[in-house]
A and B are shown apart, each in its own frame.
Chain A
Amino acid sequence: MHIADGVLPTSVTVTGYILSGVILAFSLRRISYGDYPKIALMSSAFFVASLVHVPIGPSSVHLLLPGVVGIVLGSRSFIATTLGLILQCFLFQFGGITALGANALMMGIPALLTGWLFHTVTFKNSSLTVFMIMAGISGMFGVLLAGLILALLLFLSGSMFYNVAKLVLVAHIPVAIIEGIVAIAMVSFLRRTKPEIFSMKM
């Protein structure tokens, strides 16, 4: 789920850097004093999630967590995903440095949109069932959107990646289902033990 160096053409990498820089600047402007620990916590979760491998058939996939990050952080989620990706890039060599902007967009936009979707449907007083249903939908939607953005970026990179783009979309369906289940488990736990964590405004 990370784009390596040399896959994307220069125009796409530069556009990726500019767009992610703009979104990051907007996210940083909205940040408040009390948000830091929450952002740090979700950044760590996002950073470590890529190491949790789930075996599927002969291959294995890893968690992505854009849905959960979006649910907890709302409009600040882009900061957490970008920070996690930067550290994954430098410490784990996941994804290339030149593709960092595109990778940030690929993970950050789904997180932002899932956050928006979750917070427009659920309210502080919504029941646990509503929270769980929305968490499942958000978790799945986040991964599918990330897969769609990845396929789009590969599609923009040239005709030699058309088949890879199709394969990426199909490979993300089981990941989305697992992610939905994980999101339900996490949100239901947080709703019962620490409901104030969902008070993040969009």
Chain B
Amino acid sequence: MRVPSIISILIVVIVFLVPLGAEEPTQTESPEPRMPQNYCDLSEIKESISEHSRELSKEIRQIKREIALLRQSTERPGIKEIFAGIGYIFGLCGVAFYFSSRRRREG
């Protein structure tokens, strides 16, 4: 019973210690091999950002154009304003008739 338990403890210690010890040499590795990869990533990111901004500016331009069109269509007088104007004109004509007829009756 003793021998297997000692062996199992040893196995556990080895299992836990070996990876700790194994990590050390990787940490002390020179960063030179990773550098080109990093540069590559940066340029890729830069390119994707610029492409994204290009797309965004294109969309904004389109939206601006749509806003201008919408503004133009809302500024254009509608049927309501046209009939309101004609109504005003004939209403004023009626008022003029009223005053004129009163003056005629008085005269």
Contacts and interface: CB of A to CB of B under 8 A. Distances in A.
A36 B85 contact: no
Interface of A: 33, 36-37, 39-40, 43-44, 47-48, 51, 83-84, 87-88, 91-93
B82 A51 contact: yes
A44 B86 CA distance: 6
Contacts of B85: 44, 47-48, 87-88, 91-92
B40 interface: no
Given A33-B104, A36-B93, A37-B93, A92 B86 contact: no
Interface of B: 75, 77, 81-82, 84-86, 88-90, 92-93, 96-97, 100-101, 104
B interface secondary structure, majority: helix
5 interchain residue pairs of minimum CB distance: A40-B93, A92-B77, A87-B85, A91-B81, A43-B89
A47 B96 CA distance: 19
A40 B77 contact: no
Nearest to A91: B81
Contacts of A33: 97, 100-101, 104
A48 B81 contact: no
A55 B4 CA distance: 101
Contacts of B88: 87
A88 B100 CA distance: 26
Contact of B81 (A39, A44, A83, A92): A92
A36 B89 contact: no
B89 A47 contact: yes
B77 A36 contact: no
A44 B91 CA distance: 11
Given A36-B93, A36-B97, 11 more contacts: A33-B104, A36-B96, A40-B92, A44-B85, A44-B86, A44-B90, A47-B86, A48-B82, A51-B77, A83-B92, A93-B75
A92 B76 CA distance: 7
Contacts of B90: 40, 44
B63 to A, nearest CB: 23
A91 B86 CA distance: 11
A40 B84 contact: no
